[in-house]
Amino acid sequence: MAGNLEGQITSARARRAVPLANSTPMASRFDPRLSTFRMPAPLGPLRFSAPGPTSVPRDDSDIAFAPVTQLSAWIASGALTSRRLTEIYLARIEALGPKLECLAMVTPELARAEADAADALLRAGVNLGPLHGIPYGLKDLFDTKGIVTGWGAEPFRERVPENDATIVRKLRAAGAVLLGKTTVGALAYNDIWYGGRTRNPWNLNEGSSGSSAGSASATAAGLCAFAIGTETLGSITSPSQRCGTTGLRPTFGRVSRAGGMALCWSLDKVGPICRSVEDTAIVLAALNGPDLADRSSIDAPFHFDANADFAGMRLGYLPEAFGEGANAVDHAALEAVRRLGIEVVEVSLPDLPYGSLMNILYAEAAAAFEELTLTDLDDTLTWQDEGAWPNTFRKARFLSAVDHVQLDRLRYQVMLALDGLFSQVDALIGPFMTGPMLIASNFTGHPCLHLRAGFLDVGTRSDASLGEGKLTTGEPDAAGPTFRVPQGISIWGRLFEEGSILNLGMALEREFGVAALRPGLPS
């Protein structure tokens, strides 16, 4: 064997000499569909709820916290202009943004110009849809032409793209107004970025979790109508849990990632972070669609009817997810489902080493940012402890290539396992980080809706962690003061069937009755 090693080393060095941009995809691509999968048929036009009150509140904060469904109706009727709504959010950003450290870049002049253009179209009788004139925040992983897109990391803080990401073009075509770039934990990990630490609006002593840290924080604090997040392994659901927002992680491949920073080509997903369930459906409708610029893009219909009946739905839960570690809000959420008259059944998953799949994430992430490791630019990242990216990238160099292939085969076994589970039930409910579902469903590409279910009184929590092959939400300080903070619940659905979990989520949102509560931020 020793005589053969030199050739292998030479080949590796030759490959390293070829520069590979972050935008260069892998030749192989992940597809969540098994051979037996059948794409759901289109079921007619999208149907959203009827608009609420026609009169606009006098208090700007009541306008700022209104759901997109209501804001859209006010703008369409002429009761509210996009320019006024944009100014309300810009004022809140100026007042609260520095406290929350949730905006990496604010684009006020662009926002005003886009708002004025939206108002002009309406005066001309042109309405581009439910996002027409609605201001939003964009996670600072997505390219915006001529605007710094720094990925939250020191080596890229001066990076200015020459083109817009696909989803930026889609949102502009839908009439949405870009307020600025929301913060992202450096290279899509946690809530620490080159400008500081993004804060949880419900407790400014703790971070907002990540990596869609700024998107969740800004949305929860009423600094935008909605925001865009991404998830590789918890980056939509975790900050939504911490900040009390509603996050929708769509099926892998449904939304284009072209023009977005790649962390893990076979795992990255793009989705909305909002303050209500139906708002996530509105945003997903604008983002949905195939894109030749993303090799993993899948052409799939998106059906949503706000008034659809979920009678006959069979909802599963994993008993261990509601055992040790579950709290009162978790158990109350399960009881709320039963009150809706839905059949709730126990289910199980095969005993597989789901946590081992995280080595796939580590390997892909290390490959995406190999240049940082090989040039020592990783030393410039602020966060340097044992669980942060620099050391994770370094240790990934010691993963066995053979084991990596075997992990891919294990991933297929997990795909079969979840396919079997969803052949028994229409959806699954549970705490988002209890049991194997956060890891398993991210690696299989299944969609997940996370929504606020209640509140807990807990001490300031430590950092969430993805280290050592385990996931934690952070431990509360048992000795210090307590804070009333949101607690959410997750609903997982079948591939490309987001509509059914959104309908269930809307019903639970009404049952919980806590979605409209706001954080008591200092002025």
Is 269 annotated in the active site? no
Distance of CA 464 to the CA centre of its chain: 16
Contact (CB, 8 A) for 201 and 220 = yes
Report whether 411 contacts 436 (CB < 8 A). no
Q: Is the CB of residue 373 less than 8 Å from the CB of residue 385?
A: no
CA-wise closest residue to 334 among 455, 517, 442, 491: 491
Q: What is the C-alpha to C-alpha distance for residues 170 and 128, in angstroms, rounded to an integer?
A: 11
- In what helix (H) or strand (E) does residue 262 lie, and over which residues does it extend? none
Give strand ranges (E) for 314-417. 314-317, 343-346
Q: Which of 211, 217, 276, 500 is catalytic?
A: 211
Residue 235 annotated as catalytic: yes
- Confirm whether 82 is a catalytic residue: no
Q: Which two tokens stand for residue 516?
A: 């409209």
CB crowding 415-430: b at 16 or more within 10 Å, else e:
bebbbebbeebbbbbb
Residue 278: name the closest of 468, 49, 493 by CA. 49
Q: Which of 72, 82, 139, 217 is catalytic?
A: 139
The residue type of 10 is T
Q: What's the per-residue H, E or C state across 454-505?
A: EEEEEECECCCECHHHCCECCCECCCCCEEEEEEEEEEEECCCCHHHHHHHH
Active-site hit among 72, 235, 490, 500? 235
Alpha-carbon distance 512 to 486, whole Å?
Answer: 12
Catalytic residue ranges:
139, 211, 235
